[in-house]
Amino acid sequence: MEIRDLAWTYVTSTASPEASPIAGHERGARAYRRLGAALWCAGLATFVLVYCAQALLPTLAEEFRLSASTASLALSATTGALALAIVPLSVVAESWGRARVMTWALALSAILGLLAPLAPSFGALVAVRAAQGVALAALPAMAMAHVTREVAPRWLGGAMGLLIAGNTLGGLSGRLVTGVVADLGGWRLALAVIGVVSLLCTVAFRLLLPPPVAPDPPRTRLRDIAGPLRTHLADPALRCLFGIGFLLMGSFVTVYNYLGFRLLAPPFRLPGTLVGLIFLGYLAGTWASTGGGRMGDRFGRRRVLWAAVLVAIAGVWVGAPAWLPAVLAGLLLTTLGFFAAHSVASGFVGRRASLLPGGAPAQAAALYLFAYYAGSSVGGSLGGVAYDHLGWPGVTGYLTVLLSGALVLALRLRTVPPVPVPPARAS
């Protein structure tokens, strides 16, 4: 789900006949089905590993006698390392062999996942989780690139859908499974289960993945990205979109990181298994991502973007009172607003970059992912500081500041002129 629209950025920027001169797999062919199943396993393994720690934060805080903000490092270390590594690895790793890199990345992250339950201290656990972030950094863009090279252009949508389905299921199941298992047998057992799941997914991925039909691209050097990087960062619209991604994800991760702490404490005192079910709210994001994109096409991305941020802000304040129905309603609104805004913003990045002279949509997508995961790491940890010192009222104020910043950038975006191209292609 996190890369739903960035997937289409990669499709539209790499799926031309010049980019893929070799005929790819046709839908219905055995190789097409194997490729789709393999990438579904890769998406599942990736996101089950990244987000499994989110449901464990209250348990880790109690086990190691930590504050909420310190416990959040179990997630922030992974997303922070992923953010730092994603741009350079996305650029250079493809020329090392897509199948080889994906296999090694999944295998290494699965092995680290099996080591995580054995961590003797919280610091060791954070170190393992950070290493997993680096190992997984190249996978999102690498999987998208592999689909666009290996599948016939007219069937890219269906193949990409399988990859995204694996991402969605991995992110949701990682949170749900760890929450339930930790309540029954502790956080070590929960992480062990996740490690086994990721290892099984890795084995299935390698067995299912058909031999590549497209050659690997020429070796790319990091200095080759300097020109497009300057182009993207010089564009005021893209700067706004990168900032929006950072602020949106910082606020969203804060909600789901610390709402569990709130619901376990008075006056709610909900059981841990029931608290874990709050992650089912992510299902609303499936509809919101699609609906937000469609509304952006119909009413204009700039208009829908700021409206979606307003919905998220409304959700923060609806969920502020200590009344469970209000909390759940606020969570739903915040989730809907976040995913709608993220869908529009991430899709906007690729379209804008594709029109800029010297722009590179795939690299712009990687920059957006950098801002997105950096927001998860930095914003999520700072949200814990607000919770530790001021409780949920502090979190409400913190979320309001972040989302207000996103709203200002979204409104600023409306004043940025489109790229001077024919009207039919203007962004």
| Cα–Cα distance, 329 to 271 (Å, whole number) | 19
At 86, list the tokens.
């994603």
Lowest-confidence region among 68-72, 217-221, 223-227 = 217-221
Q: Hunting for tokens 């629209």 — which residue is that? A: 5
What average pLDDT is seen over the chain? Answer: 83
* CATH fold of the domain at 224-427: Growth Hormone; Chain: A; (1.20.1250)
> Over the stretch 372-389, which tens digit does the pLDDT of each residue have?
899 999 999 999 999 999
Q: What are phi and psi of 151, to 5 degrees?
A: -105, 140
Q: Residues 217-229: what's their mean pLDDT? A: 68
The answer to whether the 1-220 and 224-427 domains have the same CATH topology is yes
pTM of the model: 0.85
pLDDT digit string, tens, across residues 302-315:
888 999 999 999 99
CA atoms of 199 and 103, how far apart (whole Å)? 11
- Higher-pLDDT residue of 293, 412: 412
- Check whether the bond before 417 is cis (ω within 30° of 0): no
Ramachandran bin of 138, using left for φ above 0, alpha for ψ from -120 to 50, beta for the remaining angles: alpha
∠ at Cα 206 (189, 103), nearest 5°?
80
Q: 1-220: what fold?
A: Growth Hormone; Chain: A; (1.20.1250)
Nearest to 212, CA basis, from 146, 142, 299, 297: 146
Predicted confidence (pLDDT) at residue 3 exceeds the cutoff of 70:
no
| Mean pLDDT within 261-267 | 94
pLDDT, tens digit (0-9, with 9 covering 90-100), for 13-56:
444 443 444 566 667 678 778 887 888 888 888 888 998 999 99
Which CA distances in Å does 92 have to 131, 195, 373? 19, 28, 20
Tokens of 68: 């909420």
Average pLDDT, integer, range 173-202: 90
Quick one: pLDDT at residue 167? Answer: 67
Secondary structure of 134-170 in HEC code, one letter for each residue? HHHCCHHHHHHHHHHHHECHHHHHHHHHHHHHHHHHH
Q: In the chain, what are the domain boundaries?
A: 1-220, 224-427
pLDDT in tens, 358-417: 777 767 878 888 998 999 999 999 999 999 999 999 999 999 999 999 999 999 998 988
- What is the reported pLDDT for 276? 83
- Is the per-residue pLDDT at 85 higher than 70? yes
